[in-house]
Structure 1
Amino acid sequence: MSTLTVPYLNIADPEFAMDSEAVRAARDANWYAETNYGLAILSYEDNAALMKSTHFIQGSAQWPEHNGVHSGPFHDWWKENLLVLEGADHDRIRRLTNPAFSPRKIKKLAGRFDELANELIDNWIDRGEVEFVNEFAAPFATRVLCILLGIDEADWVKINDLGSKIGAALGVTFKEEQESIDAALTELQEYGAALIRDRQENPKDDFLTRLVSENRDGDKLTDAELQNLVVLLIFGGMDTTRNQLGLAMQSFSKQPEQWEKLAAEPEKYAKNAVEEMLRLNPTTRWVTREAAETFEYKGLTIEQGTTVHMFTMISGTDPEAFIDAEQIDLDAERAPNFAFGGGVHNCIGQFVARSDMMAALPALATRITDLQIGNATWLPDSGNTGPENLPVRFTKR
């Protein structure tokens, strides 16, 4: 490690906030900080360089251990899921999985995503207020997954409940909530196993059938690999989109002129609206890597085994990389964000997430205005964050 004096951030503190003067000051002082979970990379330039570095492996494998969790269903599942696999094992599963995520096939569902967004808005638009998480973000994100996987949309409440409980494993309260997390994961594994058996016996024209039947040169995913992947898709896909939509409403409520711009030309600005949210206010506050070997970067010796967190939010608002970095600008041409990671370990479901948010945000903007956020409650600002509930008052267009 370098002997330079560098900032220290206590990211295990439940009160830690990425969007804080302390973190901005750390970024202004140095390109990295020390934390109780390893190093934090703060600048955009260095996130861009290190995110794709071949010196690193995906670093989340040790997350349970960092939180004092050394056994149990989640611990065991986490060690085998695609997020943390490396080398030939990772490449093989990505190769067998990628065809099911074909952008062309996902685009065919865009019309249904639009219909769903407007159907949910119809339920509360005449009230002038909505509890956004439970009345829009959660049902939208979860039912999108049901549509994608060919699951009965009526199951969304159960899936959302299980996914929300498992999502606590990505926060700093993991140890305290382990019993609930493990129970929810076990139930979701059983649910996923039943879905896989059904598609093996009764193939359909859907994503899950493509996943189950994909065969490359005689190689197929095993039942255990399929179950692991289905659980990851349900948990990861639902949690991320639900949180990101709530964060988007928070950000747009602060810049109503940008909301009006999206409303006026939704087709023109849908993509940029999503990308600005992923840059400015991402649910994934940091992406983790681990040094596979000892190497030197900008005078800093990073020892093999060091955990390194790429701070996606603070690098996404780096004034050295972006003009008006802390403002939404739907007309700006921005450098890529890292909300879905980067390099070999970019998120396999990112096209799905982007597609469904490109349906949700324009639908909302074209139907409601004058957004006013009420007294919300929030998940810890670590790993993945977002609102637990989000009261929003508005004017119907």
Structure 2
Amino acid sequence: MSRTRALARAVLRAPVAGRTWREVGYQALALLLAPAGLLVLVLLLLGVVLSLTFVGLPLVALALTCARGLGRVHRRLVRRVLRIEVGDPAPRPRGRDPFDGLVRTLTDPGAWAQTGFLLVQVPLAVLGAGGPLGLLSAVGVALLRSPEGSPPGVPGLVLVVVVLAGPWLLRLVVRVQVGLTRATGAQEGDSARLRRSRSAVLEGSAAEVRAIERNLHDGTQARLTAIALHVDLARHRLRADPGGAGELLDVAHTTTREAITELRTIIRGIHPPALDEGLGPALTTMAEQAGLVVETDVDLRGAVLSPAIETMAYFCVAELLANATKHAGAERAWLRARATRRRLRLEVRDDGRGGADPARGSGLRGLTDRIAGVDGTLRLVSPPGLGTLVRLDLPVRA
């Protein structure tokens, strides 16, 4: 019963809803752009017909360039009028010289995709803007010409049905248009995103290798050199000054223990020993040893996580809890972990000061880049004064 009421309420509110009027505005603007799209298609057809001569190829390239421009305008309308976020295709390829630029433009898959979008968008714009108006006009003509013997109230009922059904027809057309807008830039956008994430992962891995190398060089290597020096001095003093040799050996023994401790710390940074029992127990142990009260809700039963994903998830949660303690000033945090056969979802929430912004710090930005490298996502909700909520979505296998 509640679903029926909700559906009836949605149908009655649709003609006056803000979304409907935004869609009406979008369709009106799309209809104004339809002649430009039709002109681009005619120009492309003319270029293809003349492609047997050299004159036709520049016309095709011009049409493809204009198609890219119109596609950019349509994406801007979707963002600003419909308030729907859509991705951008890769930038237009540029050649080393005019001939190379012509070849790159003619073989640009993004431009051809935008041309295909215009081929469908032009009739959809006419249908989206003209369909409801045509229905209303037909109903108006029918009301004016209705015979005297027609049942009372029938024309008005038809008008009500058209008014109530019009927004849903419009919504269907807009959904198709938005889907086409996303699809035309998805392939190029995904490729660009993949290149950026791969570059971020490589840079992050290189930075971690440099950090390990620096720790080994400045710490462990220096201590091992000191051990060798003290043992060498003790060997030379062993006969002449046994007491001094013993002191040198004591120093070498202490330095050896310090070097072992440093090596263990470095190894934990590469692969935490807590993960030997699995990610679930490791997260629980981490929460117990955190510098604030952490309530855990961890259930990873049935999930088979790869070691790389376990390590990434462990360090991500560790950094988020450290941020809650050091930067957010939080007293309590909540950790939730769930896994399916394909995805691992982590949620870390705290009661700190909020206002976290990846643009102002490298920590969250680094986490986002690292997660994107394995086709994962990070979502941040951090209003000032209301704490921070971070949701991580990772594949179970890298």
> When the two structures are superposed, what TM-score results if normalisation uses the length of structure 1?
0.25
Q: TM-score, normalised by structure 2?
A: 0.25
More relative contact order, 1 or 2 (CA 8 Å, 6+ apart) = 1
Structure with the higher helix share, 1 or 2: 2
